[in-house]
Amino acid sequence: MEAGAGFKVKRIRFLGREVPILLQNEFGPCALLGIANALLLRNSVTLSSDHGSVSVETVATLIADRLLETNGEAASRGDETGLQLRKTLDDAIALLPELERGLDVNVRFSGGFEYTPALTVFDLVDVALVHGWIVDPDDVAAPAVDNTGYNQLVEKIVSEGAAQAADFLDRTASQLTYYGLSQIHSKLRERQLAVLYRNLHFSTLFKYDGKVYVLVTDLGYRDEATVVWECLDDVDGDTEFVDAHFRARPPAP
């Protein structure tokens, strides 16, 4: 594994304990960051308290160790299932450093994603990957959009015109619909950690007291104790920041 740009570390309070979280580097909120922060908050992996920054290699190794810890026994069986799981683990571990730069994801507008081998990383560490770019069944574009993926829909627009499908993409350029937002809120369990895919970004989510929050990983907020989470309650970004105790950030003087 080759070291990349690495990640700065911010320490926050989370449910009564201090937790180091990783902040974005030049590649933004990447899949590696989203997974690592979910595991750190869940206490499934740990970082030494004296880390001010960590390399991509270190983060990938932490996740690889977690993959082996939770799946290694099953993968060590000599039967066909065990051998297949071992190959899946090997492929997932080899992929980890690449998750810093990007991950090929194709959303389905009815919810979920088209399968790619890279998505098995989320399954193997038991971190749900969700998105909110979901068409409302009552939307006029639903017949043209539902049960298709983004790539399929673009091909359909190019080859057939498909005005309603093109209009849907224009209206939902934020890649989050109010229907999709409601689906995220209803499907996440209380105090569940997950990863949100939106606009090529992978952000750590947490549901607390019935609300869903996005972990703030912008480097500019590293020293802002009052900015830890952002409420996920609007599709156009009109949201508010809260602190580690989920209290609203005081208004600027």
Active site residues: 30, 201
Other CB atoms within a 10 A radius of the CB of residue 180 amount to: 23
Structure tokens at 181: 């937002």
- The DSSP string of the chain is ----S-EEEEEEEETTEEEEEE--BTTBS-HHHHHHHHHHHTTSS---TT-SEE-HHHHHHHHHHHHHHHHHHHHT-SSHHHHHHHHHHHHHHHHGGGGGT-----BBTTSSB---GGGHHHHHTT-EEE------TTSTTHHHHTT-BHHHHHHHHHHH--HHHHHHHHHTTTS--HHHHHHHHHHSPTT-EEEEEETTEEEEEEEETTEEEEE---GGGTT-TT-SEEE---SSS---EE-TTSPBPPPP-
11: left (phi over 0), alpha (psi -120 to 50) or beta: beta
